[in-house]
Amino acid sequence: MTTPTQMAAARQGLVTNEMRQVLADEPIGEAELLARVAAGIIAIPANRNHTNLRARAIGAGLSTKVNVNLGVSEDCCNIEAEMAKVRLALDLKTDALMDLSTCGDTRGFRRRLIAASPMMVGTVPVYDAVARYGKDVGRISVDDFFDVVRIHAEDGVDFMTIHAGLTRAAVERLRRNPRLTHVVSRGGSLLLQWMTENDQENPFLTHYDRLLELCREFDVTLSLGDGLRPGSLHDATDAAQIQELIVLGELTRQAWQAEVQVMVEGPGHVPLGEVITNMQLQKKLCHGAPFYVLGPLVTDVAPGYDHITSAIGGALAAAHGADFLCYVTPAEHLRLPDMDDMKEGIIAARIAAHAADVAKGLPGAIAWDHEMSRARKDLDWQRMFELAIDPDKARAYRASSQPGDQEVCTMCGDLCAVRKSRMILEGK
């Protein structure tokens, strides 16, 4: 008998091993978890072939998760460097990895990554189809696309980004409502090319039932990609983006009917004043499905600092409905990130995620902050370092400027307000 998907198990009232792992990590009860997985508002990406997975859940009432993108490209094809990034992501407590490789032995790298990662792993099969077959995009067949999806599923990929909502109607709306930056999603642009050259509808929409069968077979979570996400503030919340979002909502319900878990991807570049609106639209149109956002970046003018523009938008987005943040590094829009870029991006995304969890009132989230505040009141430097989101950086800053009085820091010295007020108010 076929093992049920996480969603099917939840609908039958069965608590899976993956659900037990989630219950050990999250402030949620068993009955709530079963109900929300059954309804689709929590997803547990857990491919049956990812045997060393430590399951994490994404969605309503849970901590905000963080994803890291990595992978080799034509100009930077160093698999060992990317494996070092996998280890760094583990060290920095990332929740998920996405392999976006586009050249070389993509399957060999993907298998190594999955074998090394207890984190959930995602991919974009359309990228790999281009790398695997070496054909012009327009000459890739429908079977070629689906063969790659099956290979990724067999390898143990937990969630796959598929841009099934990029329809011909949405493309026509895009033509009638010109954008400043057109289509910035790599997967979206590849399917746009395929659809144009073949004068056909999106193959993943036409053959959506076939896609759902594959996902159900391996219990792959479908991450419905936003091929028309805005790549500039000018293009945010426009007709093409909303057209695609409406279709993604319909595809979400269809997937749930097949007991396939879904996440929905979102923007992109969004002015700060439109971030909350975008979250409300997605949750409404996609029936509360977990929402996965890239940023969003709240300004276009900060190349080299887009981990900051992303963290600003990510904190606001997650506080108002986003469940999963894709990190952005300082190298965004400029080059493939190195290890230093990656660390800056992960820390920025984790800060945004935690700030959002505090804002949402997630049980236990603010306790971490209270512990740090107690350590500061006590001028307990070692405890502060232990609690810091980046202990190494905190220690390095402290060591770089040593005070004469080791209890205080070089900012205030003898005028330390914390020490003075503690002595007065606590009678010391």
Binding site residue list for Zn(2+): 269, 333
Q: How far apart are CA 310 and CA 302, in angstroms?
A: 10
The neighbouring-strand residues paired with 293 are 266, 325
Q: Which amino acid is at 393?
A: K
For the beta carbon of residue 304, count every other beta carbon within 10 angstroms. Answer: 12
Q: Which residue in 162, 155, 153, 113 sits closest to 5, CA to CA?
A: 153
- Give every CB contact of residue 110 below 8 A, 6+ residues apart in sequence: 99, 101, 121, 123, 152, 155, 157
Q: Which amino acid is at 336?
A: L
Annotated binding site for [4Fe-4S] cluster: 409, 412, 416
Annotated binding site: 69, 98, 127, 163, 185-187, 226-229, 265, 269, 292, 333, 409, 412, 416
Identify the H or E element spanning 38. helix 30-39
Beta strands in 283-421 (DSSP E): 291-294, 324-326
Residue 37, token pair as written in the block: 């997985």
Q: How far is CA 128 from the centre of its chain?
A: 19
Q: How far is CA 353 from the centre of its chain?
A: 11
Annotated binding site for substrate: 69, 98, 127, 163, 185-187, 226-229, 265, 292
